[in-house]
């Protein structure tokens, strides 16, 4: 039955990722993948927070399901490669380094807010 909790969380996380990405990209008419950056950082923060406050089934539903479907490493990788191949090498490096730094910072902040050591 655990798989059902993961699937339910993912059923919310995937459309939320798509809609958030489209909304953010619509506001920024650039080739830089701001939408993916936003969902990955938000998902990292949420997972850090959930790690401190959720357990068991809630972790499966919200952590694995929702956050797993909300965040996207594959899209991040593809968009970074597309920037690089399109000649925007500086933006590709900025996306890779900025995503890593912001994601780590967000998950750290989430755990701090949750009161984890």
Numbered residues of the known binding site for Na(+): 68, 71
Annotated binding site: 68, 71
Q: Are 42 and 106 in contact (CB under 8 A)?
A: yes
Would you state the structure tokens that stand for residue 47, as one six-digit string? 């997972």
Degrees to nearest 5, angle at CA 73 with 57 and 81: 175
Two tokens at 61?
Answer: 């539903």
72-93 core/surface letters (b: 16 or more CB in 10 A; e: else)? beebbeebbeebbeeebeebbe
């Amino acid at each position: 039955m655990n798989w059902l909790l993961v699937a339910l969380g993912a059923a919310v996380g995937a459309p939320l990722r798509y809609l958030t990405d489209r909304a953010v990209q619509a506001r920024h008419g650039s080739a830089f993948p701001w939408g993916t950056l936003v969902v990955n950082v938000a998902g990292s923060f949420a997972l850090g927070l959930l790690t401190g406050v959720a357990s068991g089934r809630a972790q499966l539903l919200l952590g694995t399901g929702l956050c797993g479907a909300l965040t996207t490493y594959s899209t991040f990788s593809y968009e970074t490669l597309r920037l690089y191949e399109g000649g925007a090498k500086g933006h590709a490096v900025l996306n890779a380094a900025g995503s890593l730094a912001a994601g780590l910072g967000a998950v750290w902040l989430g755990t701090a807010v949750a009161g984890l050591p």
